[in-house]
Amino acid sequence: MSMEIPMPGNTDSRELEMKVKETLAQIPDLDLDAATIKVHADGHTVTLEGELETIGNARKVELAALSVDGVHHVLSHMETGPADERVRL
């Protein structure tokens, strides 16, 4: 009989992703759709991808993600600006 052994960090990474998504949804004055920002966790590093209107909003998202217990690093692959003039950070 074969048993599947969970890979270290997989469950923890999924839990961390959920915590970050929950935190991002609570940012005041920022209407984030769940599909707007994609969150991927690998160990204690969180990668953010998506599109936001301003650099200020992108910074709010980055700082909120970094505030989550267990997050040590945030990699931002977000784009900002009007949809036809996005700037990749």
Q: Work out the average pLDDT over 15-44.
A: 88
Topology of the domain covering 10-88: Histidine-containing Protein; Chain: A; (3.30.1340)
Q: Could you tell me the strand order of the sheet in which 37-42 lies?
A: 37-42, 45-52, 73-80, 87-88
pLDDT at position 49 over 80: yes
Pick from 5-19, 22-36, 49-63 the range whose average pLDDT is largest.
49-63
Write down the domain spans for the chain.
10-88
Residue 4 is predicted with a pLDDT of 46
Strands 87-88 and 73-80: antiparallel
- How many helices (H) and strands (E) the chain has is answered by 2, 4
pTM of the full structure: 0.78
pLDDT at position 2 over 50: no
